[in-house]
C-alpha cells in the first residue's frame, strides 16, 4: 500500500526502491512478506558472499577483497535495499555474524590453497555497534577461524561518528587493539567533522564512488577526490578509491597518488569460486 511504499522509498532511496518493487516484491506488496523471507533466509542458507578485489595502484597487485552480501533468491538486488530492514528487525546481528565468519573462513580456505595473502574487508552496520558483545564476537570468530587479525578490515561509515560517539570510539579502539583494521567507507558523503578523523582509530579512507564517477569529467569531483587523497596522506592513512570503472579514472588516481582501487574496471564482485579463477588467471 501507499504507506509501505513510502516507507521503502524513504528507507532505501529511489534506485533501491525500484529494485525492491521489481525484484523482491513482484508478487506480494507488503513489508511483512519481505521481513518474513529475510527471517527465514539465514536458516535456509539463502545468503551468500561475493568478493570484489582491491588492487595496489602502483604495481597492480591484488591486495585484498571486500565481502559483499548477496541473497541467492534475488542476486541482482543490492543489499542496500534490505539492510535497513535487517537493521530495524535486529536480524543484522545474526546476519552480520554470519558474514564475518564466512568471510574469515573463505580467506583461510584460500590460504590453505596457497593463494597469495589477501586482506578481507567486511562491512559493519551502525546497528552492530549497539550489540554489547561485538568485540567478543569478533575475537571469537578470529579464534575459531584462525585468521590473523591484521588481515581483517572492518568497513564503517561516517554515521557511526554521529550518535554514541564516545562509546563507538571506545569500541573501535578495542577493535584496533586486537590488531584488526578499520576503514571509513563512502568517505565524503556523511556529515562528520574532520576533527573526528584524528580521534577515530582509522587505517583507511575509501573515497565514495560518487566522486570517483566524475574525476575525469568534473573539476569539482576531481578536486574533492584529490583533497581526500591528500588528507589521507597527511594523516598517514591508506586511501582507496571505490567504483573505478574506466582506465581514465584509474590513471587519474594513480597520478594523484591514491594507494588502492576497487571497481568494475578491475572486477565485479564475484562468487568465491569465480573469484579464485579470476585471481589465478590474473596472476598467471
Ligand atoms: P559499499 O560497502 O560501499 O560497497 C560498494 C558497493 O559498490 C557494492 O554494492 C559494489 O558491488 C558496488 N561497486 C563496486 N564497484 C563498482 C563500480 O565500479 N561501479 C558501481 N556502480 N558500483 C560498484 P553492493 O554489493 O550492492 O552493496 C551496497 C552496499 O550494501 C555496500 O556499499 C554496503 O554499504 C552494504 N553492504 C553490502 N554487504 C554488506 C554486509 O555484509 N553487511 C553490511 N552491514 N552492509 C553490507
Ligand atoms: Mg564497503
Ligand atoms: Mg562504499
Ligand atoms: Mg556505499
The DSSP annotation for 113-124 comes to TTPPP-EEEEE-
The residue ranking higher by pLDDT, 166 or 114, is 114
Judged by DSSP in three states, 207 sits in strand
pLDDT at residue 200 in the model:
86
Residue range 191-212: mean pLDDT, rounded: 88
Per residue in 210-227, pLDDT tens? Answer: 999 999 999 999 999 999
Whether the pLDDT of residue 248 is over 80: the answer is yes
Ligand 1 nearest atom to the CA of residue 49, by list position: 41
Name the residue with the closest Cα to ligand 1, atom 31: 80
Q: Which stretches does DSSP call E strand in the chain?
A: 47-56, 62-71, 119-123, 152-156, 181-187, 204-207, 238-242, 260-262, 270-271
Per residue in 116-136, pLDDT tens? Answer: 889 999 999 999 988 889 999
Ligand 1 nearest atom to the CA of residue 87, by list position: 44
ipTM: 0.98
Residue 2 Cα to ligand 3 midpoint, Å, equals 31
Q: Measured between alpha carbons, how far is 226 from 239 in angstroms, rounded to an integer?
A: 11
Residues in the chain: 284
Whether the pLDDT of residue 2 is over 50: the answer is no
Ligand number, closest to the Cα atom of 86: 1
Whether the pLDDT of residue 112 is over 70: the answer is yes
Are 62 and 118 in contact by the 8 Å Cβ rule? The answer is yes
Residue 90 C-alpha cell reads as 535486529
Name the residue with the closest Cα to ligand 1, atom 26: 78
pLDDT at residue 5 in the model:
38
Task: Look at the block and give the residue holding cell 529475510.
Answer: 38
Mean per-residue pLDDT of the chain: 89
Q: Measured between alpha carbons, how far is 240 from 220 in angstroms, rounded to an integer?
A: 19
Ligand number, closest to the Cα atom of 49: 1
Name the residue with the closest Cα to ligand 1, atom 35: 80
pLDDT at residue 15 in the model:
47
Name the residue with the closest Cα to ligand 1, atom 25: 68
Residue 186 Cα to ligand 4 midpoint, Å, equals 6
Q: Which stretches does DSSP call E strand in 34-180?
A: 47-56, 62-71, 119-123, 152-156
Residue 68 Cα to ligand 2 midpoint, Å, equals 8
Q: Measured between alpha carbons, how far is 68 from 262 in angstroms, rounded to an integer?
A: 13
Percent of the chain with pLDDT over 70: 89
Residue 257 makes CB contacts below 8 A (sequence gap 6+) with 229, 233
Amino acid at each position: 500500500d501507499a504507506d509501505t511504499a513510502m516507507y521503502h522509498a524513504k528507507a532505501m532511496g529511489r534506485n533501491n526502491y525500484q529494485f525492491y518493487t521489481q525484484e523482491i516484491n513482484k508478487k506480494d506488496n507488503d513489508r511483512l512478506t519481505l521481513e518474513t523471507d529475510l527471517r527465514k533466509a539465514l536458516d535456509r542458507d539463502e545468503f551468500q558472499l561475493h568478493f570484489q578485489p582491491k588492487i595496489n595502484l602502483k604495481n597492480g597487485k591484488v591486495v585484498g577483497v571486500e565481502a559483499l552480501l548477496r541473497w541467492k533468491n534475488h542476486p541482482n538486488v543490492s543489499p542496500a535495499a534490505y539492510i535497513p530492514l535487517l537493521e530495524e528487525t535486529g536480524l543484522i546481528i545474526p546476519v552480520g555474524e554470519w558474514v564475518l565468519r564466512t568471510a574469515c573462513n573463505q580467506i583461510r580456505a584460500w590460504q590453505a590453497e596457497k593463494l597469495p595473502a589477501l586482506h578481507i574487508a567486511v562491512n559493519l552496520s551502525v546497528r552492530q555497534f549497539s550489540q554489547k558483545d561485538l568485540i567478543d564476537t569478533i575475537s571469537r570468530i578470529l579464534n575459531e577461524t584462525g585468521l590473523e587479525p591484521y588481515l581483517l578490515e572492518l568497513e564503517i561509515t561516517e554515521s557511526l561518528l554521529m550518535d554514541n560517539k564516545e562509546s563507538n570510539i571506545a569500541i573501535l579502539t578495542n577493535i584496533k587493539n586486537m590488531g584488526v583494521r578499520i576503514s571509513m567507507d563512502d568517505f565524503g558523503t556523511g556529515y562528520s567533522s574532520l576533527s573526528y578523523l584524528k580521534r577515530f582509530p582509522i587505517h583507511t579512507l575509501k573515497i565514495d564512488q560518487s566522486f570517483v564517477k566524475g574525476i575525469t569529467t568534473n573539476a569539482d569531483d576531481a578536486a574533492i577526490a584529490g583533497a581526500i587523497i591528500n588528507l589521507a596522506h597527511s594523516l598517514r592513512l591508506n586511501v582507496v578509491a571505490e567504483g573505478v570503472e574506466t582506465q581514465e579514472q584509474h590513471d587519474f588516481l594513480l597520478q594523484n597518488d591514491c594507494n588502492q582501487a576497487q571497481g568494475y574496471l578491475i572486477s565485479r564482485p564475484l562468487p568465491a569460486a569465480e573469484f579464485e579463477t579470476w585471481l589465478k588467471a590474473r596472476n598467471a
